[in-house]
Structure 1
């Protein structure tokens, strides 16, 4: 008898130890574990669940079983309780496990995101008696995922911008090459035509001189005119050679620009006013277009850059402005230069109606143009060039009134000039 009692006592102690161990394991699980009956009444929970409810400001003592005998309607708002009860009923009716993210808003306004797993709870006979659930707080994990997603999207956007810039630089090179080709083809034709004209002209001049000599009535003025005419073809050929050299130098500079290999060794000290006046003198204005350009206050400045590329910027801006003036049948161009702090500024403004806001924000992106047949590469080229000078170009516009381009140039120190000179020495 004593042996039987002793064995029963040992069995009870062993069961108590197992129950204690099971409860300890249950309490140490990093998640809320709870179980309810069919009516949604809490039958039990682990310590972690109690602590989580305390964190959720539900005013429940984690060391007391304040939840036992209560339902979700006693603990949460009606909306949350309805959602939890609906999930419990679905688990019990289907007999299947449910894994779902649940969002809770605490009384202090903080939002919690919980990953909830619920399964049917059955007794030893396999009869359904309720649900058992395990809920893990994944708020920080979801926030980390969101940060990673935002970082990924930002990186993707930056890669996209970088790829777009590569394509843009290639487009600028193709665009420049296309212009060079379009210029060189007619120049070659002019050169060939000049040779033909020269041959005919020599014969014509010789014939005229023979006729004048025969009749002895050639005047000094006619003789001088014939001398000038005789040299026209050679002068034209010289201009064509110079233009081809100019095209080659321009392409070389643009090539360095688009490959990011343009550096201070390629720069010279430029006088902004002198280049501006030179461009205005060389620009092929139609009729009275030159009179549309008003030059305001000019505070001349020097900058380190490539004069050929800067000329292309000015040509591009003037060309766009004059086309806009022609299209809108009115407007003028205003030019000024200022010295502001560490930067020098060139402003070019035309009053030919400006551009819409949806276009202005993409004006320097490339492939955006509001002109028929425009490529959108010209102003993108201007942006790349100004940035290679260490400056920038921006614009603002009031649609229906004007658009103003602002070119900023960093000031040049005496030390920088010496460095440029030493690089060339």
Structure 2
């Protein structure tokens, strides 16, 4: 397995596991649990939302819209009376009673075969599409910001088009068609050879696994939806935000409250008085507060035609609405990129700190000391985790936390969270922040 592939797998699993840890029942105590969750305590609404966005549901909807003939019909038998002709299998007992009742020896009660789309496999398809559709509608009503995403509206439109299929529409009009599929429906669908029904079984099993709190099902769902469209550098940033929230939870013994939907520019998670932001906007200093290097850099960018805007820190932690920690994340797949990545991250954190505290060097220095640089792979560089170590505070050194993907996976941010919480708990630091 190549280095790039290994990093892809690591950062993806770290991102998903960060969400899982936030959803665990014992987040309040910071303990590690087995691979199962309590559905009464985890955010089932959020997980059902991501299930409704899963690849399987989109595949079923596309099949119904583009090739509706793949929905097979079933044969049912209707008992009718016929005079002088036999159009189906004879019901002997019913025929004798009908002939005795009418004194007509040419009347026969037969079972006539009829083709119908009200089959059990189609019931499963209709219920899945309907359930996903109403989950997304409910999410849109509750979270208005979802309306600004074109991909979200396209999902709802696709499901709406699929539910206009006459066969599925007729099924959902019946009381039995709106009920959750039972074991008989699932058995019938599993025996069907048509691919759309096999996909429907997989999607239904995924939903049941999520509702039972199976970690494997939740992992599968989130990998298809939440992280599927994120670049790997974005996954590292989101992983860092989630691991920071989990570390604060373990330190403060407070639960992690995930925001929904997870997006940039707003708190990803809230832990007591702490808010963890992903892609936090930081206003830049005025021209008079810039040093020569920064001023010239801004002038060069302006001469090229680049419009100036607020800076964006990868991850920011706020305490009582005040920024108390910055994270700069650098993802790369070549070891030779590590030194430059660290230099770039160092420059950015210093600039962000000065932007936040342009009038106070002590406050900017304090913010830097509570901040962290996260890289994809730290190589031969040592982690910096112990702020109390005098070796990290020499004349030519300024302390900052430093770790990588492996460090995040091993809960190394606990050193950072314990120190941060201690400082934030003191009135002097809270006032300075």
TM-score band, normalised by shorter chain: under 0.3
Relative contact order higher in (CA < 8 Å, ≥ 6 apart)? 2
TM-score of the superposed pair, with normalisation by structure 1: 0.19
Greater strand content: 1
